[in-house]
Every structure is written in C-alpha cells, then in structure tokens.
C-alpha cells in the first residue's frame, strides 16, 4: 500500500525553540493535511494545503505543500509547552477505483526537554 514517511519520529523541544517536521512520499498527492493529537484525544486539524507550492500559516504554525506534490513540511515557531503532542501528516489523492481516502504518516511525537 501507499506510505507516507514522516520524520522525525520524535523530538524534544525547549520552550522558545523552532520545530520542523516533514512528510515525503513516492506518490503525488492532491491535498496535504496536518493534524495534532493530544494524549487520549482525537486528532485536530491544524492546516490544510491544496495547491503545489502553497504556503499557509495558522498562528505560529506554517506548512507548505511541496512543489513536486510528493512532500510537505510543518514548522512551529517559538514553541510553548502546550505544543507537545503527536503531529500527523495526511495526504489525499485520487486514482482509478479510489475513494480519495486519506493516507496518514506515523506521526512525530513532540516532548518537552527534561
């Protein structure tokens, strides 16, 4: 099946640091989405991207739809403690017989440095 490679798998942050994570695929996608999940809760949509090259911000979050349509990145500037959680990328593409279902990366777990 199709896969999204999300990296890093985990990272530790210190308050005030900038954070960057990305997703890559061997397939082209029409839509890229970024979600955040807090422990024991469902994922919440952060940013949706619909066009190659698109750069979209949501407060301290910035995400880009790669120009090749095979990748996307998410940046968090000036991190704060409530940024901890798991971040998922998801891609959508349509092909013969598909329902346009999302394919998810395995997540990037953000934790606070001890």
* Chain positions contacting another protein, by CB under 8 A: 1, 6, 9, 30-31, 33, 35, 40-45, 48, 50, 88, 90, 92, 94, 99-102, 104-107
CB of 94 to another protein, least distance (A): 7
Contacts of 32 (CB under 8 A, 6+ apart): 23, 48, 49, 63, 65, 72, 89, 90, 91, 92
Closer residue to another protein in complex, CB, 1/16:
1
Contacts of 74 (CB under 8 A, 6+ apart): 20, 21, 22, 34, 46, 47, 61, 62, 63, 87, 89
CB of 87 to another protein, least distance (A): 11
CB of 38 to another protein, least distance (A): 10
Closer residue to another protein in complex, CB, 17/106:
106
CB of 13 to another protein, least distance (A): 19
């Amino acid at each position: 099946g199709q896969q999204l490679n999300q990296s890093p798998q985990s990272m530790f942050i210190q308050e005030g640091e900038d954070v960057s994570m990305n997703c890559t695929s061997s397939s082209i996608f029409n839509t890229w989405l970024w979600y955040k999940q807090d422990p024991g809760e469902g994922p919440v949509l952060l940013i949706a991207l619909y066009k190659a090259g698109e750069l979209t911000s949501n407060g301290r979050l910035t995400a880009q739809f790669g120009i090749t349509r095979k990748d996307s990145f998410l940046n968090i500037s000036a991190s704060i403690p409530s940024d901890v959680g798991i971040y998922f990328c998801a891609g959508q593409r349509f092909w013969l017989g598909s329902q346009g279902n999302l394919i998810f990366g395995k997540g990037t777990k953000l934790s606070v440095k001890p």
